[in-house]
């Protein structure tokens, strides 16, 4: 200690001050680099995990929607008159085979009598045989029934099977009654499980395939229905999120799988869709931790390397410029602190004690001025990025930011939202006949009319071309009244003639599609899609009108 003290005492105060500044700068830069690295890594890990959960959700949602379509198909089969008018077996079989040919996922359709004996079936398979002891008859004679994935029993040796693998089906059955309500039998449909494998493969992008991403589908008891061949039929109840209580929102976690490897694992639980009640399926997306978090490690390494370089550079600058700066630096630091706190009226003082200090204070002044100019430029660029350049309306980027704040606020205030899609009718005709400049002037005038129809606090944005969207907040009991009132204003205002240069006039109309959040969907993106579907229906019905979403409207997949 005495030797160290003697060694330090040999250095001048100036040298000690420079060494202290260098040490502080180096330590501060390294600390900030470490904090930035850690925070960035945590954020990236969360994004990667959420992406895995989203992949699982997309898969289970596609399966639920596909099953809903199959259930609706079965309901449509009940309209076959041959089922209820005692038609000949050949006639009924021909009807069923015609329907099977139109649905490549249907492996077998059969109609039984009241005792469970198959009266007619596609390909004549099982005709005359009894399936009274099978769940498809026992459950189907009570009400519409959907059976989970299972291997074929009676059909295993009768249906074509080029691949040789065990055939798996999902069953749908429903009772058939005559016009007096008397039970006639059961209509049974076996769906090939191959459609689910197709949906699974369609989920993979080339990037996901390269990154070892795997998608699995589990039954309600945790048994693997779809996934890597080595896992088919295995139970994954040892995964803590599978064995836990049933959840509705997608989640992710780092799990240790039966092979001993750790994976970033995303979960999504099936809740059914419309007519399909759901079978408790669990979609799972997994990716090895080493692959998933490789970008995180690269980011941490890059941030720490940059931090070291910046720390060394700052230390060198501090060493070269710290001479005789103790008092002037205090003044400079005080001025900088005041500006940091928002007091922009204060300026960096001009120190003239030495040429070095004068240059430093001048440089700091210039730097602060440039930073303020850059901040002003950034603010202007942000405004431009969130605004449509032609109409001055908010664009899709602003709308996304607005919804992130508006939805929590609406939930706190117990409010709902009306989403109205607006598409101009005959706008293309104006462009073709009067030119694109006239079309631009028309859009500017339409924009003003849209603004005039808004209430305070509502938002209208341009999505592109002649398509706009309005978002209106209100109490749930006022949803329908507000939808019709705003639509009445829009239809009346937009239909008025528009005066263009050279005494030209143009007239356009508009079609409107509306959906309500959360009444029509808790996911705002779903509500936007439903409003778009309603707009499509309005145009199909003759344009210049409002259509509000209802379950009977065709969806995007049905277009």
SS3 annotation, 424-454: EECHHHHHHHHCHHHHHHHHHHHHHHHHHHC
236 backbone dihedrals φ, ψ, rounded to 5°: -110, 30
C-alpha span between 218 and 304 (Å, rounded): 42
Beta-sheet pairing, 224-226 with 145-151:
unpaired
What string of DSSP letters covers 158-177?
TS--TT-SPPEEEEEEEEEE
Same domain, 353 and 455: no
How many structural domains does the chain have?
4
Q: Tens of pLDDT along 17-71?
A: 666 666 776 677 667 666 766 777 677 777 877 888 888 788 778 878 877 877 7
Residue 333: pLDDT above 90? Answer: no
Same domain, 251 and 344: no
pLDDT value of position 558: 42
In a domain, 1, yes or no: no
Lowest mean pLDDT among 94-108, 196-210, 366-380: 196-210
Mean pLDDT, the chain, whole residue set: 76
C-beta of residue 285 within 8 angstroms of C-beta of residue 211:
no
Residues 6+ positions from 114 with CB-CB distance below 8 Å: 141, 183, 184, 185
List Cβ<8 Å contacts ≥24 apart for 200-207. 200/59, 200/226, 202/62, 203/55, 203/58, 203/59, 203/62
Higher confidence at residue 129 or residue 345?
Answer: 129
Of the residues 361, 384, 407, the one at which a domain ends? 384
Same domain, 177 and 227: no
In a domain, 60, yes or no: yes
**Count of other CB atoms within 10 angstroms of residue 402:** 15
C-beta of residue 385 within 8 angstroms of C-beta of residue 397:
yes
In a domain, 258, yes or no: yes
In a domain, 389, yes or no: no
pLDDT value of position 528: 93
C-alpha span between 100 and 535 (Å, rounded): 33
Same domain, 345 and 282: no
Q: Tens of pLDDT along 372-420?
A: 666 665 656 555 566 787 888 888 888 888 888 888 999 999 999 999 9
Same domain, 421 and 525: yes
- Give the distance, in angstroms, between the CA of residue 529 and the centroid of all CA atoms in the same chain: 12
pLDDT value of position 262: 84
pLDDT value of position 158: 60
Q: Tens of pLDDT along 263-305?
A: 888 888 888 788 777 777 788 888 887 777 777 677 667 766 7
pLDDT value of position 22: 67
In a domain, 131, yes or no: yes
Report the first-to-last Cα separation within the chain, whole angstroms.
84
Residue 318: pLDDT above 80? Answer: no
Strand ranges, E, within 202-257: 214-218, 224-226, 251-256
Residue 496: CATH number of its domain: 3.30.70.270
Q: By C-alpha distance, which of 318, 308, 311 is closest to 19?
A: 318
Q: pTM surpassing 0.85?
A: no
Same domain, 143 and 22: yes
Same domain, 240 and 265: yes
Whole-angstrom Cα Rg for the chain? 34
pLDDT value of position 164: 46
C-alpha span between 531 and 549 (Å, rounded): 6
Same domain, 117 and 33: yes
Q: By C-alpha distance, which of 465, 468, 469, 461 is closest to 395?
A: 461
C-alpha span between 107 and 253 (Å, rounded): 38
Q: Is 148 a catalytic residue?
A: no
Instruction: Please identify which of the residues 425, 466, 532, 533 carries the catalytic annotation.
Output: 466
Peptide bond into 518 cis (omega under 30): yes
Same domain, 220 and 300: no
In a domain, 390, yes or no: no
C-alpha span between 310 and 113 (Å, rounded): 83
pLDDT value of position 8: 57
In a domain, 48, yes or no: yes
Highest mean pLDDT among 236-245, 338-347, 524-533: 524-533
Lowest mean pLDDT among 152-161, 194-203, 462-471: 152-161
The DSSP code for 235 is B
C-beta of residue 427 within 8 angstroms of C-beta of residue 508:
yes
Same domain, 104 and 241: no
In a domain, 391, yes or no: no
Same domain, 283 and 340: no
Find the domain containing 456 and state its range. Answer: 396-558
Q: By C-alpha distance, which of 318, 329, 393 is closest to 361?
A: 329
pLDDT value of position 557: 41
Highest mean pLDDT among 410-424, 452-466, 490-504: 410-424
Same domain, 191 and 264: no
Residue 167: pLDDT above 50? Answer: yes
b/e sequence 328-360, b meaning 16+ C-beta within 10 Å: bbeebeebeeebeeeeeeeebeebeeeebbeeb
pLDDT value of position 476: 92
């Amino acid at each position: 200690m005495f030797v160290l003290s003697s060694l330090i005492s040999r250095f001048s105060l100036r040298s000690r001050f420079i060494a202290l500044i260098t040490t502080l700068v180096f330590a501060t830069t390294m600390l900030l680099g470490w904090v930035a690295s850690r925070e960035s890594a945590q954020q990236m890990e969360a994004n990667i995990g959420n992406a895995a959960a989203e992949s699982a959700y997309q898969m289970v949602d596609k399966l639920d929607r596909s099953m809903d379509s199959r259930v609706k198909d079965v309901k449509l089969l009940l309209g076959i008159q041959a089922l209820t008018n005692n038609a000949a077996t050949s006639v009924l079989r021909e009807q069923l085979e015609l329907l099977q040919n139109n649905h490549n996922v249907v492996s077998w359709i059969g109609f039984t009598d009241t005792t469970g004996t198959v009266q007619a079936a596609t390909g004549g398979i099982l005709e005359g045989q009894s399936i009274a002891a099978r769940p498809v008859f026992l459950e189907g004679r009570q009400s519409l029934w959907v059976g989970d994935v299972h291997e074929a029993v009676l059909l295993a040796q009768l249906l074509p099977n080029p691949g040789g693998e065990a055939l798996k089906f999902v069953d749908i059955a429903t009772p058939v009654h005559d016009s007096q309500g008397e039970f006639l039998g059961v209509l049974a449909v076996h769906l090939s499980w191959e459609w689910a494998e197709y949906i699974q493969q369609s989920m993979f992008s080339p990037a996901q395939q390269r990154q070892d991403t795997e998608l699995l589908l589990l039954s309600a008891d945790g048994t693997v229905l779809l996934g890597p061949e080595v896992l088919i039929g295995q139970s994954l109840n040892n995964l803590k999120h599978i064995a836990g209580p049933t959840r509705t929102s997608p989640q992710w976690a780092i799990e240790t799988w039966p092979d001993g490897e750790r994976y970033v694992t995303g979960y999504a639980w099936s809740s059914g869709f419309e007519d399909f009640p759901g079978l408790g399926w669990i979609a799972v997306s997994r990716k090895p931790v080493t692959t998933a978090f490789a970008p995180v490690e690269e980011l941490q390494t890059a941030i720490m390397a940059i931090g070291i370089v910046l720390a060394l550079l700052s230390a060198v600058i501090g060493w070269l410029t710290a001479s005789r700066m103790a008092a002037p630096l205090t003044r400079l630091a005080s001025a900088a602190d005041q500006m940091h706190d928002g007091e922009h009226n204060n300026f960096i003082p001009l120190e003239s004690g030495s040429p070095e200090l004068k240059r430093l204070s001048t440089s700091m002044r210039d730097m602060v001025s440039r930073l303020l100019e850059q901040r002003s430029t950034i603010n202007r660029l942000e405004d431009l990025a969130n605004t449509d350049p032609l109409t001055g309306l908010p664009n899709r980027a602003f709308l996304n930011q607005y919804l992130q704040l508006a939805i929590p606020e609406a939930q706190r205030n117990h409010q709902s939202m009306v989403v109205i899609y607006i598409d101009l009718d005959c706008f293309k005709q104006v462009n073709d006949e009067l030119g694109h400049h006239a079309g631009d002037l028309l859009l500017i005038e339409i924009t003003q009319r849209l603004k005039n129809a808004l209430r305070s606090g509502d938002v209208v944005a341009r999505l592109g071309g002649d398509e706009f969207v309005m978002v209106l907040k209100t109490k749930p009991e006022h949803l329908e009244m507000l939808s019709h009132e705003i639509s009445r204003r829009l239809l009346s205002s937009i239909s008025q003639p528009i005066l263009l240069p050279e005494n030209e006039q143009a007239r356009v109309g508009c079609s409107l599609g509306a959906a309500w959040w959360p009444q029509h969907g808790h996911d705002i993106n779903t509500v936007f899609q439903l409003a778009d579907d309603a707009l499509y229906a309005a145009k199909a019905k003759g344009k210049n009108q409002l259509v509000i979403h209802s379950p009977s409207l065709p969806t995007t997949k049905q277009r």
